[in-house]
């Protein structure tokens, strides 16, 4: 009789089946309504921008992992190695999501090499140089956007009016301002209905508030994100607006506030772990956004606000974690049960 | 679903009891041999009352774990001949050896002796020690309340509900006897708020027993609460406020007082992905795991992982030869055997923490497991204590939900070893029945 083969491993043996793949798939699915809205308003060319961003991010990540991380990679048996080596984790989809979210923050008029360069920068410099998924300090998509905005400010602020199917494919600058740009240059506020529908100028994915909220509701249902960071973000923006005499609803719906609060500030890797920390993180990002919007040179400040708070999140984590005395042992339930 | 591949549906926070045995419990026939340990951990004191070659009758006292007055009697569950008295592999595995008596079974239930309570002049606790009923006697002296945990934390175990359902009258009588033995007027029955059937059955019992009340919990309560209480007592000197028991112990009290039966059998759930039909089986104390698994219909040989106590908190086993004890690594063995066949998935490579915070959301102890684990990993044991290392219940829920597949519980156990020299709650002897 053959021997039993008993594998000794520490419990627990059960998992609920969630992996990084699932979370990234959820985010991509949640971004779908916003992507469809942007195609509807800005034409099919935005699909090319999104695809360029996703492909560039995924290919760069794969290249970095194959060349620098995976020592045992066998180039002669490329496909097998690609799918079996632990170090090659590009199939978890995090790079593709980075590329997609980066594309969401670009104007619809950008040439196709802009998302390619931005996604590559975000993945290589902001993510892989820090150690890959889980070890990055800054949100790679926002880091890529910050880089692009600093390097090619002209291309990054060329807006297109929505609803121009005829203009699809044309890179001719259809000069049209974003709602925040109009406000900064002294114009009036855009109507809230237009902002909710997304029928305004702006970056690809940020215009339609309703679509973004739909996606966020899905993410909340799947427990991929928590409500804390967006709640803090919106609360801080509302309070700041009310104190400074601006319309809070307009500021919440205009520009990248929705995209930033619901998709960027909820990025688990670069935000704090504790619930209170997440609320603080959102509050800080909301405040900095309002400061940049109202007093800064840029009309929009979500990107920089979240990047600044990203750098603070380890500190926030440390300050908000629950502390115990060295010999303190908390026994849950028991005091609760024994209380009469 | 043991989470072999990613699921894209909404993931649960805690495992659903989908593999737990259903239906009435079976009785296992007498095995070829039983192995009864006389030590809990190496170095414990013990007393042997038989010698090799002796004929023993079912229910006969063959020795004690510990020595009087802190002792626990050991009875043979079947009639037979003592074939060996020698150190055997401890149930937690590794290098440890504990003294065990091996009995080659000849017959079942031959003239099972009844031990009358009247012989003990009303000393209920001494009687329970003499009957081998495993209780935290020391905590019973000082505790202010009794709690019976009727929630099933482990998804593959249904022994608690099987005991309550199978013999509600015995369970109710056991509660009364237990309150008498502890000298406490009240007992709290914990039940899961979603388990309507159990609530109904316990409700009927609570109405018939004076002083019993029901507490519905939102989350199943892990068994390690009692070790954690004892642990806190050891560290800070705070008395144990409550004794937390399982229905199996209550039923054993009933058997001892009403039927005059010492501890000889226990109910075990056998479940897991390699078990064809999950079953609840009344097994003889000291039956080898291999015999139990064969009786449950497991095809031998197999390749897989065996845990005594369930897939979430059970102790891994590396041998099927040693017998099932009355305690499973510090917990009363109203437990189960979980047998999972080994399947590999490339999705389950641990990666860096994505800092999603789900471990903190599910933690019943209210700590942030990843914060503790980071400090242990970077060799800051003091800071790990500051983040609540010692409050961890080792229930495994954080690992269950972790999208990064991090071995959080293992690292926390390692941290306990590094800071306080204690490997884990589950090997902590909470039943201070031994004089060591």
Domain segments of chain A as ranges:
20-320
Q: Tell if the CB–CB gap between A133 and B351 is shorter than 8 Å.
A: yes
Question: Which range scores top for mean pLDDT: A175-179, A194-198, B85-89, B186-190?
Answer: B186-190
What region, left, alpha or beta, does residue A245 occupy, with left being phi > 0 and alpha being psi -120 to 50 degrees?
A: left
Residues 229-248 of B with CB under 8 A from A: 229, 231-232, 235-236, 241-242, 244
Q: Flag the least confident range among A245-259, B149-163, B216-230, B342-356.
A: B342-356
Q: In B153-308, at which residue ranges do the beta strands (DSSP E only) sit?
A: 187-192, 212-217, 242-245, 265-271, 279-284, 303-308
- Whole-number pLDDT of residue A10: 80
Does residue B49 fall inside a structural domain? no
H or E element: which one contains B71?
Answer: strand B70-75
Rounded average pLDDT over B33-57? 83
Using the CB atoms, write b or e for B244-260: b if 16+ within 10 Å: bbbbbbbbbbbbbbeee
Does residue B26 fall inside a structural domain? no
Shortest Cα distance, chain A CAs vs residue B3, angstroms: 4
> B303 and B403 in one domain?
no
Does residue B191 fall inside a structural domain? yes
> B314 and B381 in one domain?
no
Does residue B107 fall inside a structural domain? no
Neighbours of B183 (CB within 10 A): 11
Instruction: Tell me the pLDDT band of B433, cut-offs 50, 70 and 90.
Output: very low
Q: Which two tokens stand for residue A304?
A: 């920089």
Per DSSP, the three-state class of B121 is coil
- Tell me which residue in B304, B311, B387 faces A14 most closely, judged by beta carbons: B311
Does residue B86 fall inside a structural domain? no
* Cβ-Cβ contacts under 8 Å, B225 against chain A: 331-334
- pLDDT tens digit string along B291-314? 888 888 888 787 788 888 888 888
- Whole-number pLDDT of residue A164: 53
* Cβ-Cβ contacts under 8 Å, A4 against chain B: 300-303, 320
CA gap B357, B111 in Å, rounded? 59
- Whole-number pLDDT of residue A121: 96
- Tell me which residue in B229, B316, B396 faces A334 most closely, judged by beta carbons: B229
- Tell me which residue in B3, B232, B413 faces A16 most closely, judged by beta carbons: B3
pLDDT over threshold 70, residue B103 = yes
| Probe site for chain B from A1, A8, A19, A310 (most B CB atoms < 10 A) | A19
Per DSSP, the three-state class of A186 is coil
> B296 and B233 in one domain?
yes
> B418 and B307 in one domain?
no
> B243 and B161 in one domain?
yes
Half-sphere exposure (CA, 13 Å, Cβ side) for B12?
14
- Whole-number pLDDT of residue A167: 45
Q: Tell if the CB–CB gap between B6 and A16 is shorter than 8 Å.
A: no
- Tell me which residue in A12, A26, A323 faces B399 most closely, judged by beta carbons: A12
Q: Flag the least confident range among A77-91, B103-117, B146-160.
A: B103-117
Q: Tell if the CB–CB gap between B348 and A15 is shorter than 8 Å.
A: yes
Does residue B105 fall inside a structural domain? no
> B287 and B423 in one domain?
no
Find residue B217's DSSP bridge partners: B192
Does residue B208 fall inside a structural domain? yes
Query: How many domains is chain B built from?
Result: 2
- Whole-number pLDDT of residue B76: 86
CA gap A181, B306 in Å, rounded? 65
Instruction: Tell me the pLDDT band of B237, cut-offs 50, 70 and 90.
Output: confident
CA gap A59, B359 in Å, rounded? 32
> B319 and B195 in one domain?
yes
Calculate what percentage of chain B has a pLDDT beyond 90.
8
What is the domain extent for residue B165?
Answer: 1-20+114-344
pTM equals 0.87
Shortest Cα distance, chain A CAs vs residue B189, angstroms: 10
Q: Tell if the CB–CB gap between A14 and B355 is shorter than 8 Å.
A: no
- Tell me which residue in B3, B4, B396 faces A11 most closely, judged by beta carbons: B396
- Tell me which residue in B217, B348, B403 faces A23 most closely, judged by beta carbons: B403
Q: Are strands B265-271 and B303-308 parallel, antiparallel or unpaired?
A: unpaired
Residues 24-83 of A with CB under 8 A from B: 25-26, 83
| Probe site for chain B from A1, A2, A3, A6 (most B CB atoms < 10 A) | A6
H or E element: which one contains B34?
Answer: strand B33-37
- pLDDT tens digit string along B325-362? 765 444 555 567 777 766 666 667 788 889 999 999 99
Instruction: Tell me the pLDDT band of B264, cut-offs 50, 70 and 90.
Output: confident
Instruction: Tell me the pLDDT band of B1, cut-offs 50, 70 and 90.
Output: very low
Per DSSP, the three-state class of B209 is coil
> B174 and B131 in one domain?
yes
- Whole-number pLDDT of residue B426: 60
> B126 and B241 in one domain?
yes
> B223 and B177 in one domain?
yes
H or E element: which one contains B55?
Answer: strand B55-56
> What is the pLDDT tens value at each position of chain A, 340 positions in all?
467 777 787 878 888 878 888 889 999 999 999 999 999 888 888 999 999 999 999 999 999 999 988 888 888 888 888 887 778 888 888 999 999 999 999 998 899 999 999 999 999 999 999 988 888 999 999 999 999 999 998 888 888 777 654 444 444 444 556 777 777 776 667 777 888 887 888 888 888 899 999 999 999 999 999 999 999 999 999 999 999 988 888 889 888 899 999 999 999 999 999 999 999 999 999 999 999 998 988 888 899 999 999 999 999 998 998 888 877 887 777 666 665 4
ipTM of the complex: 0.87
- Whole-number pLDDT of residue B224: 81
pLDDT over threshold 70, residue B110 = no
Q: Tell if the CB–CB gap between B3 and A221 is shorter than 8 Å.
A: no
pLDDT over threshold 50, residue B74 = yes
Domain A20-320 has CATH 1.20.120: no
Does residue B30 fall inside a structural domain? no
Locate tokens 């237990």: which residue? B178
> B411 and B286 in one domain?
no
- Kindly report the backbone phi and psi dihedral angles of residue B115, in degrees, each rounded to the nearest multiple of 5, phi listed first: -105, 110
CA gap B115, B131 in Å, rounded? 8
> B274 and B174 in one domain?
yes
- Whole-number pLDDT of residue A155: 87
| Probe site for chain A from B4, B8, B150, B240 (most A CB atoms < 10 A) | B8
């Amino acid at each position: 009789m053959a021997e039993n083969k008993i594998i000794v491993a520490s419990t627990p043996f059960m998992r609920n089946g969630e992996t990084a793949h699932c979370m990234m798939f959820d985010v991509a699915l949640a971004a779908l309504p916003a992507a469809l809205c942007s195609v509807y308003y800005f034409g099919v060319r935005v699909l090319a921008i999104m695809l360029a961003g996703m492909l560039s991010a995924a290919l760069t990540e794969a290249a970095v992992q194959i060349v620098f991380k995976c020592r045992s990679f066998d180039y002669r048996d490329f496909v097998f190695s690609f799918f079996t080596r632990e170090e090659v984790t590009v199939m978890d989809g995090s790079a593709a999501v980075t590329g997609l979210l980066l594309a969401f923050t670009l104007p619809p008029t950008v040439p196709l090499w802009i998302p390619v360069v931005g996604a590559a920068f975000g993945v290589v410099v902001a993510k892989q140089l820090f150690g890959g998924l889980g070890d990055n300090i800054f949100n790679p998509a926002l880091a890529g956007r910050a880089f692009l905005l600093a390097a090619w400010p002209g291309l990054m602020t060329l807006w297109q009016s929505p609803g121009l199917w005829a203009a699809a494919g044309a890179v001719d600058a259809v000069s049209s301002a974003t709602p925040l740009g109009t406000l900064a240059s002294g114009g009036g506020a855009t109507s809230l209905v237009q902002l909710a529908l997304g029928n305004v100028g702006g970056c690809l994915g940020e215009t339609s508030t309703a679509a973004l909220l739909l996606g966020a509701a899905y993410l909340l249902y799947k427990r991929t994100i928590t409500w804390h960071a967006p709640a803090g973000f919106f609360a801080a923006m509302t309070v700041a607006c009310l104190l400074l005499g601006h319309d809070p609803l307009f500021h919440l719906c205009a520009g990248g506030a929705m995209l930033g609060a619901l998709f960027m500030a909820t990025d688990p890797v670069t935000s704090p772990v504790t619930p209170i920390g997440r609320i603080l993180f959102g509050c800080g990002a909301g405040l900095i956004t309002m400061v940049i919007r109202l007093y800064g040179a840029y009309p929009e400040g979500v990107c920089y606000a979240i990047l600044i708070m990203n750098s603070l999140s380890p500190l926030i984590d440390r300050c908000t974690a629950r502390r115990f005395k060295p010999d303190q042992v908390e026994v849950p339930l028991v005091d609760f049960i024994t209380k009469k | 679903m043991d989470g072999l591949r990613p699921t894209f549906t909404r993931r649960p926070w805690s495992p659903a009891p989908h593999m737990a045995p259903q239906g009435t419990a079976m009785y296992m026939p007498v095995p070829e041999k039983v192995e009864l340990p006389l030590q809990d951990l190496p170095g414990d004191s013990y007393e042997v009352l038989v010698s090799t070659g002796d004929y023993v009758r079912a229910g006969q006292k063959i020795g004690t774990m510990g020595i009087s007055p802190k002792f626990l009697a050991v009875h043979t569950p079947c009639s037979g001949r003592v074939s060996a008295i020698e150190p055997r592999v401890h149930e937690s595995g590794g290098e440890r050896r504990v003294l065990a008596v091996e009995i080659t079974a000849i017959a079942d239930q031959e003239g099972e002796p009844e031990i009358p309570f009247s012989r003990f002049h009303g000393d209920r606790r001494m009687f329970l020690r003499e009957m081998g009923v495993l209780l935290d006697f020391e905590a019973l002296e000082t505790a202010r309340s009794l709690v019976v945990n009727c929630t099933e934390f482990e998804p593959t175990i249904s022994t608690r509900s099987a005991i309550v359902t199978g013999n509600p009258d015995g369970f109710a009588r056991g509660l009364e006897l237990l309150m008498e033995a502890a000298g406490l007027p009240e007992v709290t029955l914990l039940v899961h708020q979603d388990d309507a059937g159990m609530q109904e059955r316990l409700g009927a019992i609570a109405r018939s027993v004076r002083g019993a009340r029901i507490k519905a919990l939102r989350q199943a309560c892990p068994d390690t609460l009692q070790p954690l209480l004892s642990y806190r007592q050891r560290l800070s000197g705070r008395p144990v406020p409550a004794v937390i028991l399982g229905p199996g112990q209550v039923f054993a009290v009933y058997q001892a007082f009403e039927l005059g039966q010492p501890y000889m059998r226990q109910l075990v759930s056998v479940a897991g992905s390699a078990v064809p039909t999950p079953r609840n089986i009344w097994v003889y104390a000291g039956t080898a795991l291999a015999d139990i698994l064969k009786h449950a219909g497991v095809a031998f040989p197999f390749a897989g992982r065996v845990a005594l106590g369930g897939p979430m908190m059970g102790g891994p086993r590396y041998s099927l030869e040693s017998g099932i004890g009355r305690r499973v690594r510090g917990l009363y063995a109203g437990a189960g055997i979980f047998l999972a066949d080994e399947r590999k998935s490339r999705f389950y490579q641990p990666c860096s923490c994505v800092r999603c915070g789900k471990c903190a959301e599910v933690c019943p102890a209210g700590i942030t497991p990843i914060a503790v684990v980071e400090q242990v990993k970077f060799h800051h044991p003091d800071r790990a204590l500051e983040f609540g290392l010692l409050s961890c219940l080792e229930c495994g829920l954080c690992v269950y939900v972790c999208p990064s597949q991090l071995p959080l519980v293992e690292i926390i156990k390692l941290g306990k070893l590094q800071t306080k020299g204690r490997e884990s709650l589950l090997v902590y002897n909470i039943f201070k029945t031994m004089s060591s």
